């Protein structure tokens, strides 16, 4: 392995969401991925046209607040031009324009540098696809 390969690590996770809209906390899994990696940048990426990644406080009601705002901004019953799939599936395809499919987090001494209350979550409103992938990539 050359020096560049030694500084680059990537892993893909398979998640089952159950096919219901929601937030899925990735924080503990990405902490484990970063452990012993040293200093660098971690990118969390969902390779889907209908999901995003967000950093927010979890456990204090922010999850429901975010989903309420998504429902308000991107209502299921809107007359979506993208109309295949379950009712409101067009909003699923618009979601990544509002909630990016990736975030990048500095890592110091193998620990993501989150703020005190920050967590990383996948935001998924797509009821048509209960199986998701998430890629963690670390560049030292």
Q: What is the pLDDT of residue 88?
A: 84
The CATH number of the domain holding residue 39 is 2.60.120.460
- In percent, how much of the chain has pLDDT > 90? 84
Q: Are 25 and 58 in contact (CB under 8 A)?
A: yes
β-sheet bridge partners, residue 23: 123
Cα–Cα distance between 46 and 131 in angstroms, integer? 12
| pLDDT (0 to 100) of residue 20 | 86
- DSSP H helical ranges for 1-140: 3-7, 27-34, 62-73, 89-98
Residue-number span of the structural domain to which 23 is assigned: 3-139
- Reported confidence tier of residue 6, pLDDT bands at 50, 70, 90: confident
Question: Strand 111-112 and strand 22-25: pairing?
Answer: unpaired
Q: How many domains does the chain have?
A: 1
Q: What percent of the chain has pLDDT over 70?
A: 96
**Over the stretch 23-79, which tens digit does the pLDDT of each residue have?**
999 999 999 999 999 999 999 999 999 999 999 999 999 999 999 999 999 999 999
The strand ranges marked E within 5-130 are 8-16, 22-25, 40-45, 51-57, 102-108, 111-112, 118-124
How far apart are alpha carbons 25 and 81 in whole angstroms? 31
pLDDT value at residue 13: 96
Condensed to tens digits (0 to 9), the pLDDT of residues 65-123 reads 999 999 999 999 999 998 788 888 999 999 999 999 999 999 999 999 999 999 999 99
What is the reported pLDDT for 18?
83
């Amino acid at each position: 392995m050359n020096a560049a390969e030694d500084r680059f690590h990537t892993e893909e996770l398979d998640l089952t969401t159950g096919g219901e809209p929601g937030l899925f906390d990735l924080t503990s899994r990405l902490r484990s991925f970063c452990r012993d990696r040293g200093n660098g940048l971690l990118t969390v990426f969902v390779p889907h046209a209908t999901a995003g990644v967000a950093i927010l406080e979890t456990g204090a009601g922010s999850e429901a607040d975010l989903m309420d705002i998504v429902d308000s901004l991107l209502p299921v019953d809107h007359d979506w031009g993208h109309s295949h799939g379950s009712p409101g599936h067009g909003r699923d395809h618009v979601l990544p324009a509002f909630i990016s499919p990736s975030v990048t987090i500095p890592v110091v001494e193998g620990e993501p540098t989150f703020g005190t209350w920050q967590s990383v979550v996948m935001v998924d409103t797509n009821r048509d696809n209960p199986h998701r992938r998430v890629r963690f990539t670390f560049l030292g």
